Amino acid sequence: MTFTRYAIYYAPPADAEWSRFAASWLGWDMETGTYLPHPDIAGLGIGAFTEAPRKYGLHATMKPPMHLAEGRTQAALEAACKTFASSQKPVWLEGLHLARLGRLLALRPTGDEAALNSLAENCVTEFDMFRAPLPAADLDRRRAAGLTPEQDENLTRWGYPYVLSQFRFHITLTGKLPKPELPAVEAALNEHLIPLLPAPFVIRDLALVGEATDGRFHLIHRYALSG
């Protein structure tokens, strides 16, 4: 399969009950590259409010999507992922909880995030050699949303505003919801997903993913954190 961009994700384990439900909620399984039927929850148009995040699959971004720099190859990126993962330790957190990020709903970690943030920072910095510079149009598009000086500096240096000190680990579950719809969607997730969430929540591997020509992200390989 040919990929246009690559990213490094935390991809929840495919065999866990909570991640099976959440992947179905989004409607896309990046591990198998197949669409999934949404859960049948009365009164909810799940397909509509998960359309924006669906193509990315169930994930938390560690190194944001990037085009490969000139002279860099997928094979070299895969080798670098293997080496990197062998030097990093698994990350243990107390659990996950449902959070509002503006008008989006996402899973956020519970507990001390220092080790998690350090892992994410290492992903951003160590793999930046593989990233092609952003075109001016992409820089302008990001800046049009309104960035702080630090976010703009991140965008210029690392190709994405919300990294390093601006990073917040999150597993996106919806696009932007109309405010009146937030409570009903929260209630559905609290009923059907939250009881399934793991405690503790452990990040044992990282996933290299690729964006196919149809815009969908596919899992290329998982790399165990074995440092």
The tokens for 222 are: 């998982």
Instruction: Tell me: pLDDT of 88 over 90.
Output: yes
CB 197 within 8 A of CB 18: yes
CB 25 within 8 A of CB 39: yes
| pLDDT band (50, 70, 90) for residue 42 | confident
The tokens for 81 are: 């992922």
Instruction: Tell me: pLDDT of 16 over 90.
Output: yes
Instruction: Tell me: pLDDT of 194 over 90.
Output: yes
- 91/112 Cα distance (integer angstroms): 10
Classify each residue of 208-217 as buried b or exposed e, where b means 16 or more C-beta atoms within 10 Å of its C-beta.
bbbbbeeebb
Q: What is the pLDDT of residues 170-186, one digit of tens each?
A: 999 999 999 999 999 99
- 7/173 Cα distance (integer angstroms): 19
Instruction: Tell me: pLDDT of 43 over 90.
Output: no
- 42/188 Cα distance (integer angstroms): 10
User: Distance of CA 175 to CAs 34, 112, 140, Å?
Assistant: 20, 27, 22
The strand pairing partners of 207, in sequence order, are 9, 222
CB 126 within 8 A of CB 84: yes
Q: Which of 128, 137, 119 is nearest to 159 (CA)?
A: 128
The tokens for 114 are: 């220092």
pLDDT at position 156 is 94
- 207/218 Cα distance (integer angstroms): 10
Tell me what the pLDDT averaged over the chain comes to.
Answer: 96
Share of the chain above pLDDT 70, in %: 100
The strand pairing partners of 95, in sequence order, are 110
For domain 3-112+170-224, say whether CATH 3.90.1140.10 is its number: yes
| H runs (alpha helix) in 145-219 | 149-158, 182-192
Average pLDDT over residues 93-114: 97
pLDDT at position 145 is 84
